[in-house]
Copies of this chain bind each other. A is one copy, B any other.
Amino acid sequence: MTAQGESQTPARRVTRQRVALQTLLDSTVEFRTAHQLHDELRAGGASVGLATVYRTLQSMAEDDELDTLRTGDGEVSYRACAEQGHHHHLVCTRCGHTVEIGGSTVESWTNSIAAAHGFHEPHHELEVFGVCDNCWNTSAD
């Protein structure tokens, strides 16, 4: 066996499309849907099949290499993880600008709420939305 240690991942072939997607994600700050990423890849010349984009994003997300976020429309958005561990997002509903936030406040609050109701293994999903200052000034409400 190779000197790889305990990684049991069967195989992870470094294909052109995987590299292209990884590179794109690394250079992207905001969340992007599979479709958006697919379009951007195409625009960048490195066309990748839509199905491949979906499959790759999924596997990356499973390996915690990506953050996922479900939009209000029910679409899933992905972004390269910038922060380790559990955290949430503050998303601008106009431009999509995102700030990662992580607060022990909510963590402990949800944990105690769950405990108070006899719930075990609590976890939660939280996203905060709003209009960032820039967009706010651009077009006053």
Is A126 within 8 A of B123, CB to CB?
A: no
**A101 at the B interface (CB under 8 A):** yes
**A90 at the B interface (CB under 8 A):** yes
Copies of this subunit:
2
Interface locus among A5-13, A21-29, A50-58, A113-121: A113-121
List chain B residues, Cβ under 8 A from A128.
110, 113-114, 119, 122-124
List chain B residues, Cβ under 8 A from A113.
90, 101, 103, 128
Is B125 within 8 A of A130, CB to CB?
A: no
Is A130 within 8 A of B121, CB to CB?
A: yes
Set B70, B110, B133: member contacting A70, Cβ < 8 A: B70
Whole-angstrom distance between the Cβ of A96 and the nearest chain B Cβ: 13
**A127 at the B interface (CB under 8 A):** yes
**A15 at the B interface (CB under 8 A):** no
Is B129 within 8 A of A127, CB to CB?
A: no
List chain B residues, Cβ under 8 A from A101.
113, 117
| 27 A-B interface contacts by CB (under 8 A) | A74-B76, A90-B117, A90-B119, A99-B117, A101-B117, A103-B109, A103-B113, A105-B109, A106-B106, A106-B126, A110-B128, A113-B128, A114-B128, A114-B130, A117-B132, A118-B132, A120-B130, A120-B133, A120-B136, A120-B141, A121-B130, A122-B128, A122-B129, A124-B126, A124-B127, A125-B125, A126-B127
